[in-house]
Amino acid sequence: MQENQGQAADSRELLTFTLGSEEYGIDILKVQEIRGYDAVTTIANSPDFIKGVINLRGIIVPIVDMRIKFGLGNVTYNNLTVVIILNVASRVVGMVVDGVSDVIALTAEQLKAAPEFSGTMDTQYITGLGTVDDRMIIVVDIEKLMTSRDMDLVEMAAA
Amino acid sequence: MRAAHQGGNIVIEVTDDGAGLNRERILAKAKEKGIPISDSASDAEVWQLIFAPGFSTAAVVTDVSGRGVGMDVVKKNIEGIGGRVELSSRSGQGSTVTIRLPLTLAILDGLSVAVGDQIYIIPLSFISESLQPKSEDLKEISGQGQVVHVRGEYVPMVALHEVFGITPRVTNPADGILVLLEGEGKKVALFVDELLGQHQVVIKSLETNYRRVSGISGATIMGDGRVAMIMDVTAMIKMSQA
């Protein structure tokens, strides 16, 4: 981690969301907006966690359901279903989560390295574990995750 | 050189005052390469030969010139973006190459069809007709799928819901609609639930935020704000022949 860059870089703001009973945090600067879940247009022969695409004010945005991808939470779609629209690697991607909880500031001391374990989410996408008021927040490198081969969202260079 | 705006196209004309195309040399070369063409073929047909890959009448071949690649590439690329190349020539007076490019690459005439709860756009230029088949016109070929009998011709049938894995509202082709597609000299009958209407749609890339999807050439936004996929007919025809 590159935390020791003075006071300003010491704390960073995260948007936290829940998937099942777990709480995740992502860099708030990667978040474009938060909106409800609309009807999607399905994409043929895509993995089941890629719900399809929506029309977001004239741009076509793919929607990923993180609950299906990581097998967490109840996969239901109603007017409380939340989509976080992300701006990662100059792409716009929406992800469905159980709920958006908070915006928190996390200092370097509160962020601990993630232990090596094999969970549903590969530890290479986890920046660390943060502790805020006895809550454990899994801090995810969302850009790395969304552009990874696992998500199948980006064209891979390999033929 | 001249450029003009004609209908929905941009027309670019490039004229030279050179020797023009030599009909005899082209015909002789075609025979030598085994391309079937009769001596009485029209000039236009003869000129088309120079677009064939590897076709050159050049006596001197250098590192870059005279290998018969140029015109082939020109034609392929222009047709790739929906344009056309025409050629006219008079011996001793020069030649004119006319390139027609569609004015907007982003608008497409399409037919919208419904399958299950999804809407797909089929580019109109590939559609020859649509029909409601009678059940006696539908024939099964064991292990090869179904064909449909259309005016003395058997056309392979492709069910769109099977290709795209959608739950259709109609499973019997006799209750749905077949759209006859024609491309690359092949025909295929596409089975859909129903026809919705004809639209001019703005093509939006799927690749901007997602990636390429086989069988889909892009997406568009319909009047009600929903997204519809634009079908890649050439890929669909290839899939049906595989």
Q: A123 — phi, psi (to 5°)? A: -65, -15
Q: The tokens of B169 are what? A: 């509202």
The confidence score (pLDDT) of residue B140 equals: 81
CA–CA separation, A133 and A128 (whole Å): 16
Residue A1 falls within a domain, yes or no? Answer: no
Residue A74 falls within a domain, yes or no? Answer: yes
On whether any CB of chain B is under 8 Å from the CB of A120, the answer is: no
Whether A85 has a pLDDT exceeding 90, the answer reads yes
Residue A18 falls within a domain, yes or no? Answer: yes
pLDDT digits (tens, 9 = 90+) for B152-189: 888 888 888 888 888 888 888 888 899 998 876 788 88
On whether any CB of chain B is under 8 Å from the CB of A85, the answer is: no
The confidence score (pLDDT) of residue B8 equals: 63
Q: What number is the ipTM of this complex? A: 0.73
Angle (nearest 5°) at CA B61 between B56 and B65: 75
Q: Of A44, A93, A153, which has the smallest distance from its Cβ to B215's Cβ?
A: A44
pLDDT confidence bin for B68, thresholds 50/70/90 = low
Q: Domain range spanning residue A89?
A: 8-143
Answer yes or no: do B145 and B86 share one domain. no
Residue A153 falls within a domain, yes or no? Answer: no
Answer yes or no: do B182 and B90 share one domain. no
Whether A137 has a pLDDT exceeding 90, the answer reads no
By DSSP bridging, strand B2-6 and strand B9-15 are antiparallel
Asked whether the beta carbons of residue B118 and residue A42 sit closer than 8 angstroms, the reply is yes
Are B212 and B206 in contact by the 8 Å Cβ rule? The answer is yes
Asked whether the beta carbons of residue B211 and residue A155 sit closer than 8 angstroms, the reply is yes
Q: What CATH number does the domain containing B232 carry?
A: 2.30.30.40
On whether any CB of chain B is under 8 Å from the CB of A35, the answer is: no
Whether A84 has a pLDDT exceeding 90, the answer reads yes
Q: What CATH number does the domain containing A76 carry?
A: 2.40.50.180
Residue A148 falls within a domain, yes or no? Answer: no
Helices (H), B4-116: 23-32, 43-48, 70-80
Answer yes or no: do B91 and B160 share one domain. no
Answer yes or no: do B187 and B204 share one domain. yes
Q: H-helix or E-strand containing B15?
A: strand B9-15
The confidence score (pLDDT) of residue A31 equals: 92
Are A85 and A114 in contact by the 8 Å Cβ rule? The answer is no
| Nearest by Cα to A92 from A41, A46, A43, A33 | A33
Answer yes or no: do B142 and B237 share one domain. yes
- Chain A residues whose CB is inside 8 A of the B118 CB are 41-42
| Nearest by Cα to B121 from B192, B16, B187, B23 | B192
CA–CA separation, A61 and A94 (whole Å): 7
Whether B237 has a pLDDT exceeding 50, the answer reads yes
Answer yes or no: do B205 and B114 share one domain. yes
| Nearest by Cα to B178 from B194, B154, B161 | B194
| E strand residue ranges, chain A | 11-19, 22-27, 31-36, 50-56, 59-65, 82-88, 91-97, 99-107, 111-112, 126-132, 135-140
Q: Last residue of some domain: B102, B132, B147?
A: B102
Answer yes or no: do B129 and B32 share one domain. no
Asked whether the beta carbons of residue A91 and residue B209 sit closer than 8 angstroms, the reply is yes
Q: Last residue of some domain: B102, B124, B152?
A: B102
The residue-averaged pLDDT of B214-241 equals 84
Split into its structural domains, chain A has a count of 1
Residue A154 falls within a domain, yes or no? Answer: no
Q: Domain range spanning residue B235?
A: 107-241
pTM over 0.80: no
Residue A36 falls within a domain, yes or no? Answer: yes
- Chain A residues whose CB is inside 8 A of the B225 CB are 55
CA–CA separation, A125 and A150 (whole Å): 11
Q: The tokens of B37 are what? A: 């063409």
Split into its structural domains, chain B has a count of 2
Q: What CATH number does the domain containing B21 carry?
A: 3.30.565.10
Which of the residue ranges A52-56, A125-129, A154-158, B10-14 would you say has the lowest mean pLDDT? Answer: A154-158
CA–CA separation, B62 and B123 (whole Å): 43
Q: Last residue of some domain: B102, B133, B155?
A: B102
Residue A3 falls within a domain, yes or no? Answer: no
pLDDT digits (tens, 9 = 90+) for B16-63: 888 878 888 888 888 887 777 777 777 777 887 778 777 777 777 777
The confidence score (pLDDT) of residue B121 equals: 92
CA–CA separation, A42 and B106 (whole Å): 22
Answer yes or no: do B117 and B221 share one domain. yes
